[in-house]
Amino acid sequence: MGKKVLVLCTGNSCRSIIAEALINANLDGVEAKSSGVRASGKVNPNAKKLLEEKGIWRDEYHSKTLETVITEEFDLVVTVCDHANETCPMFPRPAPKIHVGFEDPDGKGFEAFEATYREIEEILLPKLVEALK
């Protein structure tokens, strides 16, 4: 039986999409989805380019609001937004929650997206494995 993870952030255009792709590409038996409280409606072009370069982009990845996943059951909800001025969403359905914050690369150069990718890979993935035990 697989596990389902929801990755939440504010705009659902960078960090949560990168995390969703990394989880789906690297954690066997775990399906990830992502959404945002104020979904931008688009994937940041640098995030998409990076995931394409890494070979883990899927056409189904897109920026979506919480309402699109609210009826689904998740084994774990992860919030990834970390700025004090951001509103990290809360998932209203009962599910274990963890917070692992990453700086938002939006508006920065491609190197910032690469750094965020590495941080999510090195920090978030091991924490997810632990939390899903």
In the prediction, which pLDDT does 85 show? 44
b/e map of 62-92 (b: 16 or more CB within 10 Å)?
A: bbbebeebeeeebbbbbbbbeeeebeebebe
Token pair belonging to 122: 């090195």
Please give the full DSSP string across 80-104, using - where no structure is assigned.
EE--TTS------SS--EEEEEE--
pLDDT in tens, 62-119: 999 888 998 899 999 999 986 544 556 566 677 888 999 999 999 999 999 999 999 9
Q: Answer yes or no: 88 catalytic.
A: yes
Domains, the chain, ordered by start: 3-131 (3.40.50.2300)
25, 88, 131, 132: the active-site residue: 88
Handedness of CA 11, 116, 122, 25 (dihedral sign): positive
In the set 7, 9, 39, 124, the catalytic residue is 9
pLDDT tens digits along 17-45: 999 999 999 999 999 999 988 888 899 99
For the sheet containing 97-102, what is the strand order? 30-36, 3-9, 76-81, 97-102
**pTM for the full model?**
0.92
Choice between 13 and 95, residue whose per-residue pLDDT is larger: 13
Q: Which of 5, 18, 21, 81 is catalytic?
A: 81
Q: Please check the confidence at residue 55 and state whether its pLDDT lies above 70.
A: yes
Catalytic residue status for 14: no
Tokens read off for 25: 């590409």
